Structure 1
Amino acid sequence: MTGAAKRNMLRLMLVLCVVSSIMATGLNLGQEAKTWWTKQVYSTHFYTTGRLSEREVKYAGEVGFKSVFGVTNHTTPGYIGDEPVPTTDEIKQIATELAGLDFDIFPPEITTYKSMEAIEYFTTAVNDLPKPMLVYCTGSYTSTGTVLLYFLHMTQDEPSFEPKIYTDEFFQIGRAMGHDFDMDEDLIELVSEITGEPPIELRTEPNNEVEYYYLYWHAKFVSSDWFVTGQIRKGHVSAALEGGYKAIVNNRRGVTSPPDETPTQEEVTLLNIKDSTGTYEEGGRQSPERLLETRIDPDKPNEYISPESETNFEDRNPGEFGDDIGYNEDNEQEAMQASTLPYLHMPFTTSQLTADLFYAYVDELEALSQHGPVIVHCRSGYRATLVALLAEGHFNCRDSDWAMTQAGLMGFHYVEDSHEHKVLQDVLDSGKCIGASSGSKPHEHNVYKVVLVAMVFLRLFGI
């Protein structure tokens, strides 16, 4: 066996370990309705984000994060769209005093994450802080690079470390998450310094063509045409516009559903209230009695909600288009129309999504994509990811293997032979794509091929 073949086999084994670990734990905080905006980075222990709001820090504590690490120090308040965001000192206070999270940040003398000093500091912090860890910066680019540099460094420094990555995986994983690390010459040189491998060729054209992606970093990358989010906050609509997104597709159910106009409002996220407690059960989820029963932590102080709050839980969330019952699609549609963003309501539950349903909307989806990058959203991103994968695959001739792998790299681990897998096969392997050529679109990311082979091995050996 040649050296290259041995190395490829080693990488396959490493990916097998990572994929089986993720599948075995079933942990994915990036799929939670409250923390859909976090991005799992090749491990169940590390998630990255952009600049955090007060609400997002509290949500992180509620779903099970144990620590927060700041890559960027924000010394002045800011905004994401119309929503104010705190300084780093305020984030630290919220995290440690209200959300029950440990906190650390690069000290002032570390001025860039692209240095061995930064990597060594982060490595020490990882050893000290409990996991899962949320790593944030301004637009998720630097935080994701920090975590992947840590993986790269530990792969070289510690033989037993998992998950291992090398030069190719570093840049491929980054691209799959919408980050063009291979356009940064300093980063390319640092990766070469860490691994001892030759520097890769500098990319001159971006893979993610949304120029101001960082302004609405919440969106998860599928392709330069299609992005995915959970529930967009009302205050973030202007951020999506400023970021360069050109249309919105909403997969959440409306106030009622045909044919008999059954009430179908979904839940909204509420601070210190458990999710999945049922919109209409026991007299309504947002009744005082029901809310008291479904608190996450009955001992939270009232100031956890706000300094003026008379309760230690939230009972309404108009910021996520909520009313007295739950999520109200009419409110979102009104806000989108006011923003001038083209908007399509394509409601379904996951079990309702079929090839026929997708084809029923395919002309409208194609028309929206002509405007430019489209955000598809639902509550947590799960349904929306299916639609975005179907759209990208159908319009650009990618197959279901690509879709399953891209979903996994986004943190959505659809199971083989599941309903989700079948829908992807029914559309993407049908030969009906309308791209430039039939069959799978050639894809430059070798990591997809490696992971696909890994999935086959997992199935064969029952891992």
Structure 2
Amino acid sequence: MISNRALLTSVFSAVFLQNEIRFMSVSAVHVKEGTEKASSIIRKSIGLKSPKNLWWAKQVTPEYYVAGRLSRRQIQYASEGGFKSVVSLFTYKDKKNCCLGVDYLPSTTEMDSYAKEAGLHFRTVLYSSKVSSAVQSVSDLEESLKNLPKPALLFSDRGYSMTFTLLMYLLKSQINTDFTVENAVAVSELLGMDFSLKCTNRVLCNVTGENIDFPKLDSLPKQWLSYWLATPVYKNWFIAGQILDSHIPLIKQAGFKSVVNLRAGTTHKGKPSQETVTLLNIKDGSRTYGDDTLGPRQSLETLRQQIIDPSKDNSYVSPNSSQNFATTNRAEFGDLIGYNEEIEKLSFRKAGFPYYHVPVVNSEPFSAELFSLYQPELMDSVNRGPVLIHCASSKRAGYIAVLAAAVQHHHDLAWALSKLSQLGMAISPSKKPDIYEMYVNVLTKKGNKTHCHSNKSGKICTECN
């Protein structure tokens, strides 16, 4: 008998407990040590309908995404961004004053109420702390998912145990004939989760009837899931969307040694250039400073034209809100105009944390020259150890981080393009052509002569020739 949640979690992997977790990474199935194999997994674009709000939701299949324990704001964003249902693996009796922003982490009862307020279906898989077996937990998940509207966001404390349970369910039920053992291994690798221990394989075998071998690969920082919102790219490279001021202690705890910010500053080339912040019950897409049809984004007149659901009560925003939509977001380093990079920089400096600002402005194309300009700072950041690169939605961060990882570890263009597809950021000559051209120019033999190894002289690099 498994008497409590912590022991159930340890059966899932035997390397993590609810509050003390060890993490490794995985390689592709049946891959020999020291080799690289591209995954066949190709993901949809991040964030469903709202990449700036939902960059932290990680796709397992097109119908199922996983995350760590959610705040009220994340539940609200899940609804506004296209999710239909939210599923919690565990029952949380108490709220947790924590770290994901201005909101604490609510109890299960509160989450149920918040989900209904946001128009989401909410279900809990395990109501009791006494669970007979991991096999039973899969049956409980299967029951919880019956007739559940999709797409669904599934979560546990840091997403680890829910991901393992979901993979067992997908392999056992065979509801998706394309979800194979190889897919399960590839997904776990993309999520940076290690299911390679013998006890884990025994559980998988008991549940699915499959003899699954998750090879072990010690390449990711062991504690990075303390900041579960991040997405692993390769070895010490990680990406994120807009982080919050309250995230800084978690980022340090997770073992990151520096942060690189790609968002625009308050000015660019002498002109105002602030980007937007995310606002509850407000559509994304309108410009910070307005345009010919709309005024400045955070003016009340403009915001009233961008409301997602006019029927929401004012309490949807906060108990004392004077309207049913947000007008500012200070937790996101916001001011009265929008996102303010100077506030973020000051917050990291106060925390004594290495911070790099290398702006990649949305209005300007990517280029090999741009990457070459920022390459010394990128390599300096990763030389400190695990680095978290962020922008607003993690897309710009992904394009830069994958290219930097390819350059650092001498991977070719095919590897980089495959990695982008795995992250849901596929590019081609017709899709994001400026980014594709940047990759070609940097990673082909011709490009490597001038762009590899921080070579800014224009001379041929002997390592690449």
Name the counterpart of 2:148. Answer: 129
Q: Quick check: 2:69–2:156 contact (8 Å CA) kept in 1?
A: yes
- Report the Cα offset of residue 242 of structure 1: 1.0
Name the counterpart of 2:412. Answer: 399
Q: Quick check: 2:69–2:155 contact (8 Å CA) kept in 1?
A: yes
Looking at structure 1, the residues matched to 453 and 206 of structure 2 have their Cα atoms a distance apart, in angstroms, of: 44
Name the counterpart of 1:78. Answer: 96
Q: Quick check: 2:315–2:321 contact (8 Å CA) kept in 1?
A: yes
Cα gap change, 1:318/1:113 in structure 2, threshold over 3 Å: closer, same or farther? farther
Name the counterpart of 1:153. Answer: 172
Name the counterpart of 1:411. Answer: 424
Cα gap change, 1:51/1:371 in structure 2, threshold over 3 Å: closer, same or farther? same
Give the alignment partner of residue 139 of structure 2, picking from 116, 120, 133.
120
Q: Quick check: 1:181–1:187 contact (8 Å CA) kept in 2?
A: yes
Name the counterpart of 1:7. Answer: none
Give the alignment partner of residue 172 of structure 1, picking from 174, 182, 186.
186
Name the counterpart of 1:61. Answer: 79
Name the counterpart of 1:273. Answer: 282
Aligned-partner residue type, residue 172 of structure 1: A
Q: Quick check: 1:221–1:227 contact (8 Å CA) kept in 2?
A: yes
- The 3-state SS of whatever aligns with 1:423 is helix
- Report the Cα offset of residue 111 of structure 1: 5.4
Cα gap change, 1:82/1:47 in structure 2, threshold over 3 Å: closer, same or farther? closer
- Report the Cα offset of residue 434 of structure 1: 4.2
- Report the Cα offset of residue 48 of structure 1: 0.8
Cα gap change, 1:327/1:66 in structure 2, threshold over 3 Å: closer, same or farther? same
Q: Quick check: 1:40–1:410 contact (8 Å CA) kept in 2?
A: no
Two-structure CA RMSD over aligned residues (Å): 2.5
Question: Residue by residue, what CA displacement relative to the aligned partner does 1:412-449 show, whole Å, maximum 9, x if unpaired?
Answer: 333454323332222223445449x978xxxxxxxxxx
Aligned-partner residue type, residue 370 of structure 1: N
Give the alignment partner of residue 351 of structure 2, picking from 339, 354, 358.
339
Q: Quick check: 2:237–2:405 contact (8 Å CA) kept in 1?
A: yes
Looking at structure 2, the residues matched to 326 and 288 of structure 1 have their Cα atoms a distance apart, in angstroms, of: 14
Give the alignment partner of residue 218 of structure 1, picking from 226, 229, 234.
229
- Report the Cα offset of residue 333 of structure 1: 0.7
Cα gap change, 1:77/1:370 in structure 2, threshold over 3 Å: closer, same or farther? same
Cα gap change, 1:57/1:82 in structure 2, threshold over 3 Å: closer, same or farther? closer
Cα gap change, 1:239/1:87 in structure 2, threshold over 3 Å: closer, same or farther? same
5 Å-filtered alignment, 1:14-29, equals 19=42, 28-29=47-48
Looking at structure 1, the residues matched to 75 and 463 of structure 2 have their Cα atoms a distance apart, in angstroms, of: 45
Name the counterpart of 1:372. Answer: 385
- Report the Cα offset of residue 145 of structure 1: 1.8
Give the alignment partner of residue 423 of structure 1, picking from 438, 450, 453.
438
Question: Residue by residue, what CA displacement relative to the aligned partner does 1:36-85 show, whole Å, maximum 9, x if unpaired?
Answer: 111111x2211111111111111111111100010132222224437432
Q: Quick check: 1:185–1:202 contact (8 Å CA) kept in 2?
A: no
Question: What is the identity percentage for the equivalent residue pairs of Structure 1 and Structure 2?
Answer: 32
Name the counterpart of 2:110. Answer: 90
- The 3-state SS of whatever aligns with 1:376 is strand
- The 3-state SS of whatever aligns with 2:320 is coil
Q: Quick check: 2:83–2:120 contact (8 Å CA) kept in 1?
A: yes
- Report the Cα offset of residue 263 of structure 1: 1.0
Looking at structure 2, the residues matched to 181 and 434 of structure 1 have their Cα atoms a distance apart, in angstroms, of: 35
Cα gap change, 1:271/1:27 in structure 2, threshold over 3 Å: closer, same or farther? same
Name the counterpart of 2:62. Answer: 44
Looking at structure 1, the residues matched to 407 and 428 of structure 2 have their Cα atoms a distance apart, in angstroms, of: 21
Further displaced range: 123-132 or 273-282:
123-132
Q: Quick check: 2:49–2:82 contact (8 Å CA) kept in 1?
A: no
- Report the Cα offset of residue 199 of structure 1: 4.5
Q: Quick check: 2:47–2:54 contact (8 Å CA) kept in 1?
A: no
5 Å-filtered alignment, 1:266-415, equals 266-281=275-290, 282-349=294-361, 351-415=364-428
Looking at structure 2, the residues matched to 201 and 334 of structure 1 have their Cα atoms a distance apart, in angstroms, of: 43
Looking at structure 2, the residues matched to 114 and 68 of structure 1 have their Cα atoms a distance apart, in angstroms, of: 23
Looking at structure 2, the residues matched to 74 and 412 of structure 1 have their Cα atoms a distance apart, in angstroms, of: 35
- Report the Cα offset of residue 358 of structure 1: 0.9
Question: Residue by residue, what CA displacement relative to the aligned partner does 1:319-362 show, whole Å, maximum 9, x if unpaired?
Answer: 00111111111111111111111111111135522111111111
Looking at structure 2, the residues matched to 202 and 75 of structure 1 have their Cα atoms a distance apart, in angstroms, of: 36
Name the counterpart of 1:33. Answer: 52
- Report the Cα offset of residue 228 of structure 1: 0.4
Q: Quick check: 2:72–2:114 contact (8 Å CA) kept in 1?
A: yes
Q: Quick check: 2:46–2:54 contact (8 Å CA) kept in 1?
A: no
Cα gap change, 1:326/1:162 in structure 2, threshold over 3 Å: closer, same or farther? farther
Segments of 5+ residues of structure 1 without an aligned counterpart are: 1-14, 440-463
- Report the Cα offset of residue 29 of structure 1: 1.7
Q: Quick check: 1:50–1:137 contact (8 Å CA) kept in 2?
A: yes
Q: Quick check: 2:47–2:57 contact (8 Å CA) kept in 1?
A: no
Looking at structure 2, the residues matched to 385 and 114 of structure 1 have their Cα atoms a distance apart, in angstroms, of: 39
Looking at structure 1, the residues matched to 133 and 51 of structure 2 have their Cα atoms a distance apart, in angstroms, of: 31
